[in-house]
Structure 1
Amino acid sequence: MIKKQSQFLHLDTYARVIPKASTQQQWTAFDILKEAARDAEHSKHVKNAQRPEILFGESPEKIIAMIENIDNLRTGKSRKYRKDLKVLMSGVASFPTPMDKLKSDDKRMLASFETATRNFLYKQFGSALVSVVAHYDESFPHIHFYVLPDLANGQKMADLHPGMKARAECGGGKNAKAAAVARGLANFQDEYFREVSCFFGHERVSDSPRARQRYAFWQVQKALKSKISQLNNIIKRIIPWNEITSPPKLKSETNDLIL
């Protein structure tokens, strides 16, 4: 049985120092960029490390200098930005054919994949997208991309990161905000699939039964929430406003899925 190829797209955010309260993240923004540049101390996991190919924008070293310059910026209250403020969004998109199995047709498809991914990212993040680089020295060819909020003009990470943006726009409590983050990130993945992956024959989710089960449940919930919204709009139209102060809200009995 031939294993289906699936998309791999991952996002994370980093500060200039590791937040004291962090229990998982062990890398700073500087560490991430030095790994991308194949600094010897940060790329020991790569046997034959090679310099990245710049597909768009600046080199990792230039971005390090840009982040170091944050020390010279001030908030609206004329204060320095906190060292633990998330200032770098880093992401990776992987091409699912191993390097040692790339044929001439695959290499042409890889070049098209890189262009399509770069265009998608620029559409999503605009001028905040400062760099896209490619690595060909690991098992699978992959793209790293870097996004910097324009702090000097008041832009925040929550204005750019799809999960954080969804959370900021959510008016609910802790659980609702957590679910909003999951929805924002899932929608980002869905958009990438529609605009890039599907044209290269890549599946939205992997063959893993657990991944497919989670995705199927997520799709059912999305459909359920849409139907609930439609029903609430119908209720608003058919029940006179002088009989109720506000239309009854229908709720889903299922818990929000956190991906």
Structure 2
Amino acid sequence: MAYQWWHCDWGTRETRERRHSKRGKDGALVVKKGTRGWSVDDIAGEAERRPGHAPHVINPHPLRMLHGMTPSEAAKKAREWSKDVQTEVVSKSGAKRKRGLRSDAPIMAAGVISLPAEMVEDWDAYKAVALEYLIEKHGPRLLSVIEHLDEEHPHLHYYAVPLAGEPFDAVHAGYAARRAAEKAGEKAGDILKAFKAAMSAEQTVFHERVASRFGLMKDGPRRLRLDRAEYKARRAEEAARIAEKRAERARAEADKEQARQKALQTAGARIGAGVVGILKWAAALVGVEIKTTSEKEAVMKAQVRKAAGAVRAAQEAAKVAQETAQEAAQAARAAGMREGYSEAEAQAQAALRVERRKTEIQRRRADEEKAAREVIEKENGELMAQLDALKPRGERSVFSMR
């Protein structure tokens, strides 16, 4: 089942071991250790795949930046911000005084946005939408966004730091809600509820703005608590939804390609008319007559035919994507209605058909672009030759560029 994955934590100045308490079977309170609180340097080391910081990655890839600075530079900015932050402390006697942040206080928000491995073909579009959302959400506080493709699921990491004079609440909604509950004198359980409610609201916003555009569900199967039949039915609906979203994007790409081809045709016609006009004007100066040959007319007609072929190919890709979406929907519905039917096989076949069509279209487009470049280079050579022929005897032509 494909569902969204967005998580936001934070980094501190120093690495420390966290403790949490839990009631045992006998009702006694047990304090456990081992949960690690990451420092900003730990986070940057894992993101940049420094030796010893990413043992879980078998074949680490070089750092791939999507926005802003490196994670190490973001960590440095976070430390600089923390130096100017002062907190108010009340002693047992009631006296108030100012002091700097504790070593375990959060100074940098660190988030992860991931996409299921089976949807890797949508990753480029997904990360573009997610990056746009992050920039709009955090603005200048968003210091770094990087991409990781060396683990099972493609994902990106982002790091945000408050502006000068702002509290950490400005970059982490859950922490802001927790601090507000603490100031209001709420109990520990209510403080935790406030934190979870704020983060759940963030999940909802992310789903509306990003994940839902790609057919992803907001909650995973464990939270939904579905039985086998409901789970298979939900997967069927999800497969149909994802296929439909892909078809919509294919139609949009086809429309964009058609508009691009029309713009190229219009620009080509204008440039051609301008060049012919210059040649005729230059020919009139030296008494040379230039005529349009049937060969050039044939080349122009061939270019028009190629442009029309590219538009038809884009429209055909959209049509294939729509048919694939319908096939996936039918296969998914059948999988949800009867036990034992593997909708994964139908989805795999549909995905393979789409990939083959995309490969064919890309190859055809590359051939057309290569042929168009050859035609343009040939015409440029002919034009330069004609301009050179216009030079008056004994003088340099005003058109000569040598």
Using the size of structure 2 for normalisation, the TM-score is 0.46
CA distance change for structure 1 residues 79 and 177 in 2, over 3 Å: closer, same or farther? closer
**Partner of residue 86 from structure 1, selected from 94, 106, 117:** 106
Indicate conservation of the 8 Å contact 1:70/1:81, yes or no. Answer: no
- In the alignment, the residues of structure 2 paired with residue 19 and residue 5 of structure 1 have an alpha-carbon distance, to the nearest angstrom, of 35
Look up the match of 1:177: 191
Deviation at 1:49, TM superposition (A): 0.5
Give the alignment of 1:88-237 within 5 angstroms.
Answer: 88-98=108-118, 102=120, 106=121, 109-150=122-163, 152-153=164-165, 155-170=166-181, 171=184, 173-174=186-187, 175-208=189-222, 211-213=223-225
Displacement of 1:119? 1.7
Matches within 5 A, 1:10-25: 10-19=7-16, 22=19, 23=33, 24-25=35-36
Flag the 1:86–1:72 CA change in 2: closer, same or farther, 3 A: closer
Q: Give the deviation of 1:74 after TM superposition.
A: 5.5
Q: Residue 67 of structure 1: CA displacement? A: 3.4
Question: C-alpha separation between the residues in 2 aligned to 1:79 and 1:19?
Answer: 20
- Among 58, 64, 70, the alignment partner of 1:47 is 58
CA distances 1:128-161 after superposition (whole Å, capped 9, x unpaired): 11111110111111010111122x32x1222321
Aligned partners of 2:16 and 2:37 also within 8 Å:
no
Distance 1:179 1:65 in 2: 32
Cα separation, 2, equivalents of 1:47 and 1:74: 40
Amino acid at match of 2:219: V
* CA spacing shift, 1:90–1:20, aligned 2, 3 Å: same
2:389 — aligned with what? none
Structure 1: how far apart are the matches of 2:52 and 2:38? 13
SS in 2 for 1:119: helix
Please list the CA deviations of residues 152-200 of structure 1 after superposition, one character each: whole Å capped at 9, or x if unmatched.
32x1222321112223444461232221111100000010001100110
3-state SS of paired residue (1:137): coil
Q: State the shift of 1:58 in Å.
A: 0.8
Q: Secondary structure at the match of 1:42?
A: coil
Aligned-partner residue type, residue 153 of structure 2: F
Equivalent position SS for 2:86? coil
Indicate the percent of aligned positions where both proteins have the same amino acid: 25
Three-state SS of the structure 1 residue aligned to 2:109 is: strand
Larger Rg: 2
CA distance in structure 2 between the aligned counterparts of 1:26 and 1:72, rounded to whole angstroms: 20
2:11 and 2:198 mapped to 1: Cα distance? 19
Please state whether the residue corresponding to 2:117 is helix, strand or coil: coil
Paired amino acid for 2:10: T
Could you list the per-position Cα deviations for residues 187-217 of structure 1 after superposition, in whole angstroms to 9, with x for gaps in the alignment?
0001000110011011111223xx1149xxx
Change (3 A) 1:143 1:64: same
Q: 1:59 to 1:25 in 2, by over 3 A?
A: same
Q: Name the aligned partner's letter for residue 11 of structure 2.
A: Y
Deviation at 1:68, TM superposition (A): 4.2
Mapped partners of 1:176, 1:74: distance in 2: 27
Tell me how far apart the structure 2 counterparts of residues 47 and 116 of structure 1 sit (CA, whole Å): 29
Task: Using CA pairs under 8 Å that are at least 6 residues apart, name the structure with larger relative contact order, 1 or 2.
Answer: 1
Bigger proportion of residues as helix: 2
Between the aligned partners of 1:197 and 1:14, the Cα distance in structure 2 is 26
Q: Is the 8 A contact 2:16 2:38 kept in 1?
A: no
Flag structure 2 segments of 5+ consecutive residues without an equivalent.
20-32, 88-96, 227-402
Moved more, 124-133 or 85-94: 124-133
Q: Higher mean Cα deviation, 133-142 or 82-91?
A: 82-91
Distance in 2 (CA, whole Å) between partners of 1:176 and 1:64 is 32
- Across the two proteins, how many residue pairs are aligned to each other? 200
**1:9 to partner: Cα distance:** 0.8
Distance 1:55 1:30 in 2: 20
Is 1:9 aligned to 2:6, yes or no? yes
